[in-house]
Chain A
Amino acid sequence: MSDDKYWDDARGDVDIASTRALSRRSVLQLAGAVTASTTIPEAFANTTPAAAPTPAAAIAAKVSFSVNGVRHSLELDPRQSLLDVMRERLELTGTKKGCNQGACGACTILVNGKRIVSCLTLAAMHSGAEITTIEGLASNGDLHPVQEAFIKHEGFQCGYCTPGQIISAVGCIAEGHAGSAEEIQFWMSGNICRCGAYPGICAAVADAAGRN
């Protein structure tokens, strides 16, 4: 599904791994952290505009945190949200942007074990944090019990709210807020599911909470 079939066209002869690695570096550079020479992949070099990229921000904040057990030391625009840093900088696109307004929960991640909406917090505020995103839940290919329960109980349809729901569910269970169906409904109401998969979400949280 999310396999190469959907990537190939524009890549031409550039292989995916190096393209995406370069992408990370070039974005880093453009954010003003690096002033080194070009990192634009050759395949695209002939289409690059003549003007050198202008640094995007005059000031850069130094931040270091760990995401899913991997330490990242970044220099970034201090105005960037944690969500944008995940999605556009670290390429952890499992965390979703639904509203960018703190109102939907699609961007929920765990920061030091607590669930927060990553669109409403600045990345620069989280130095030293231990962050968990949807990509970090499964270990060695084994799904987290909450992930398994979401599949088993049809806790999603389109899947876009799902990473946020699952992370939120992990938080909800850890907080001890999964004691009854009503409690689950209440404490999971910060995560909107427009597909309306709520009954499945509740069943999944209850199941996973029981197993833990």
Chain B
Amino acid sequence: MTMNVIGKPVARVDGRDKVTGRALYAAEFNQSNQAYAVIVNATVGLGRITGIDQAAVAKMPGVLSVLSHLNAPKLAYRPHKGSIDPKTGERLHVLQDEAVRFHGQPVALIVAETLDSAERAAAALRITYEAQRPIIDIADPDARAIVPESGRDHTRGDAEAAFANAPVNLKASYDIARENHNPMEPHATVAVWKGDKLTLWSKSQYVVNEQAEIAAIFGIPLENVQVICPFIGGAFGTSLRTWSHVTLAAMAARVTQRPVKLALTRKQMFFTTGHRPRTLQHVAIGATQDGKLTSLIHEGTGETSRYEQFSEALVASSSYLVSCPNVTTRYRLAALDTGTPVFMRGPGEASGVFALESALDELSYKLNIDPIELRRRNEPKLDEGVNKPFSSRSLIRCYDVGAERFQWLNRMPQPRSMLDGRLRIGIGVASATYPAYQAQSSARVRLLASGIAEVEVAASDMGPGTYTSMTQVAAETLGLPIDKVRFSLGRSDFPPAPSHGGSWTMASVGSAIRAACISVLEEAKKRPSTDRPLEATATTQRDAGVAGRFSMHAFGAVFAEVAIDPDVGTIRVRRALGVYGAGRIINPLLATSQCTGGMIGGIGMALMERTVLDRRDGRPVNAHMADYLMPVNLDTPKIEVQFVDEVDPHVNPLGVKGLGEIALVGMAPAIANAVFHATGKRIRRLPILLEDMLHA
């Protein structure tokens, strides 16, 4: 029996909790007798601590404990690398020695009776340092270049020779600023020890990894740690890893033997909880006169810290997005005196596709070929990087649907040819892509005699609507109405789920739920009349055969129209359209929101967002929500999202490809390409600023 709830615009099942303030986020699990911890951060960018006047602050009203490397407990820091942690390097050991590796590193911790007393003591704590000049600029000649151990270079044919022989060629360099995720909810942890058992109410996109990481750090058995996180106030990647503040909250609770709440300030969110690394990229393209690519060289360097190698798929999409016989991609890292970056929405692809899609746009003008036509001429029949067919690929269909809907043909092809009064108008387009991953996940389903189905997975919902869409999957598979399904997530003692990122939650967790539902139904057939609850647990992962046979990615075409005021240089996105081929859409209402939000994030990347570091000491100078600009309501254009029908029988049993990442990929190049169309100025550095538009 099927209820046909998959594919329906079901309203959010947690909507009422969210609009009434009843949904509880980590910092809101107040405990009785709770104390407050506040982190003190290093004010130098590199060096060592020479003195801390702890005694003076310890006497301040309400202060329970002052911790630093001088007196903090020595922690076990057993080896542990979750799937989300860099494979190379070693995580920061917090308050374990006097070394300062980057500006903002936690160097002391105040625990006090109230938040105000803790904050006041933190501000009063005097620390002296021996400081050195940190290297914080990826372009600094002293920055150490690393060939990442994750090795992502790709070569086919002879791209250098083909470039030299190409009838038409172009070379360009791109510089994309460091960004911070800046979710609305700051990181927070409430830690409670009961004997040797630790409970953490903690903002996390990966509760089972947080459990394992904290158990390893404190040297205690896994089962002694419980991590709980029913709601996440946005994260976009910043809560994938377990950062040092979680350790500090648990440490403070252990030292004071009190429940402790630790929430980061907005400023601290720029220090220790990851960032989208700044990237420098070079693209060289060779082509025939009729626009067929003969050579593509894409090199990129991303920031990492000195103590860990963070790597992402920066140049990977250049091996499969366009057809080209001669391709070389190279990925390098620059080790800097900063905290370790982390995945941020559309990691790698968002930056890499910007470079490639800007270069392709540039080529289209050079050849006088319509930008969409250029993509059409270079559409591959299979993934030429791995020589496998795509499980499905609807890129050209996305362009066709989008071109019609966005009235592409009304666009005048010449740059600087469209005006609206005194405003310069530009219309641009770009491809988007992101891999369709699936990771191992488990799920448990319990059918109660009352007719209710309880479904449990240690998954997360940072906003896309996991609660709702998983309820739909379970309801559909079990043949139950939505309101008979109780779906719970966000506890580390539930069946494990993979990290909530990489657009794989539906593919992974949804597949596990579906499998568990199918086996509980089989169980029900065997025992048709029973009062006892029926329970089934299932674990699923990607079919190895399918993974060997197919290349699996989502694709999309993104359109943007900008209006530029030539006198003051303001750039406004007036309308935007994203058309995606992303497999089956479980809930069009949620999917549309998710894509709209991603596209708005892309507007931020294109026109606003950058974390600026002071060269002298690595201090983020705009660590403030008024100075780190992000799109507000008035920046939002008329945005439309459309999904092309795409049935992918291979990718996973649900036929879904994921949306969270691809929604941001493609927006920035579409905007930059529109800016070129409006002004004739090719801006290769993000964000595009007012001053870039002077004399536009």
Question: Which residues of A lie under 8 Å from residue B465 when comparing CB positions?
Answer: 157
> Please, how many angstroms separate the alpha-carbon atoms of A133 and B22 in the complex?
12
> Please, how many angstroms separate the alpha-carbon atoms of A103 and B266 in the complex?
10
Contact status B114-A30, CB under 8 Å: yes
Interface residue SS majority, chain A:
loop
Contact status B257-A47, CB under 8 Å: yes
Quick one: given A193-B184, A194-B182, A199-B639, are A154 and B593 in contact (CB under 8 Å)?
A: yes
A135 located at the interface, meaning its Cβ lies under 8 Å from any Cβ of chain B in the complex = yes
Quick one: given A158-B232, A160-B183, A189-B632, are A44 and B597 in contact (CB under 8 Å)?
A: no
> Please, how many angstroms separate the alpha-carbon atoms of A12 and B33 in the complex?
14
Question: Which residues of A lie under 8 Å from residue B544 when comparing CB positions?
Answer: none
Contact status A98-B625, CB under 8 Å: yes
B16 located at the interface, meaning its Cβ lies under 8 Å from any Cβ of chain A in the complex = yes
A91 located at the interface, meaning its Cβ lies under 8 Å from any Cβ of chain B in the complex = yes
B263 located at the interface, meaning its Cβ lies under 8 Å from any Cβ of chain A in the complex = yes
Contact status B626-A158, CB under 8 Å: no
A69 to chain B, nearest CB (A): 15
Question: Which residues of B lie under 8 Å from residue A27 when comparing CB positions?
Answer: 34, 114
Contact status B230-A1, CB under 8 Å: yes
B341 located at the interface, meaning its Cβ lies under 8 Å from any Cβ of chain A in the complex = no
Contact status A197-B597, CB under 8 Å: yes
> Please, how many angstroms separate the alpha-carbon atoms of A98 and B625 in the complex?
9
> Please, how many angstroms separate the alpha-carbon atoms of A134 and B258 in the complex?
30
B641 to chain A, nearest CB (A): 10
B569 located at the interface, meaning its Cβ lies under 8 Å from any Cβ of chain A in the complex = no
Contact status B25-A160, CB under 8 Å: yes
Contact status A196-B599, CB under 8 Å: yes
Contact status B33-A96, CB under 8 Å: no
Contact status A158-B20, CB under 8 Å: no
Contact status A96-B184, CB under 8 Å: yes
Question: Which residues of A lie under 8 Å from residue B199 when comparing CB positions?
Answer: 9-10
Render A101-112 as a binary contact track against B, CB cut-off 8 A, 1 for contact: 111101000000
**8 A Cβ contacts from A13-59 to B:** 14, 19-20, 22-23, 26-27, 30-31, 40-41, 44, 47-49, 51, 53-58
A124 located at the interface, meaning its Cβ lies under 8 Å from any Cβ of chain B in the complex = no
Question: Which residues of A lie under 8 Å from residue B624 when comparing CB positions?
Answer: 99, 101, 103
B214 to chain A, nearest CB (A): 14
Quick one: given A101-B626, A158-B233, are A48 and B257 in contact (CB under 8 Å)?
A: yes
A152 located at the interface, meaning its Cβ lies under 8 Å from any Cβ of chain B in the complex = yes
Contact status B626-A103, CB under 8 Å: yes
Render B229-241 as a binary contact track against A, CB cut-off 8 A, 1 for contact: 0111110100000
Question: Which residues of A lie under 8 Å from residue B362 when comparing CB positions?
Answer: none
Contact status A1-B597, CB under 8 Å: no
B630 to chain A, nearest CB (A): 6
Contact status B228-A6, CB under 8 Å: yes
Question: Which residues of B lie under 8 Å from residue A118 when comparing CB positions?
Answer: none
Contact status B596-A199, CB under 8 Å: yes
- Choice from B32, B61, B265, B593 contacting A56 with Cβ under 8 Å: B61
- Choice from B30, B230, B265 contacting A23 with Cβ under 8 Å: B30
Render A182-210 as a binary contact track against B, CB cut-off 8 A, 1 for contact: 00111011111111111111100000000
Question: Which residues of B lie under 8 Å from residue A196 when comparing CB positions?
Answer: 596-601, 631, 636
> Please, how many angstroms separate the alpha-carbon atoms of A19 and B32 in the complex?
6
Quick one: given A133-B21, A143-B19, are A192 and B630 in contact (CB under 8 Å)?
A: yes
Contact status A160-B30, CB under 8 Å: no
- Choice from A5, A163, A189 contacting B491 with Cβ under 8 Å: A5
**8 A Cβ contacts from A87-140 to B:** 87-88, 91-104, 106, 133-135, 137-138
> Please, how many angstroms separate the alpha-carbon atoms of A87 and B244 in the complex?
24
Question: Interface-forming stretch among B7-15, B145-153, B382-390?
Answer: B7-15
Render B597-608 as a binary contact track against A, CB cut-off 8 A, 1 for contact: 111110000000
> Please, how many angstroms separate the alpha-carbon atoms of A94 and B19 in the complex?
9
Quick one: given A23-B32, A163-B21, are A194 and B636 in contact (CB under 8 Å)?
A: no
Question: Which residues of A lie under 8 Å from residue B488 when comparing CB positions?
Answer: 1, 5
Can you give 6 contacting A-B residue pairs, CB < 8 Å?
A: A1-B13, A93-B21, A94-B22, A98-B185, A99-B266, A189-B632
4 extra A-B contacts, CB within 8 A, seeds A1-B488, A143-B16, A196-B631: A53-B113, A56-B61, A103-B626, A154-B590
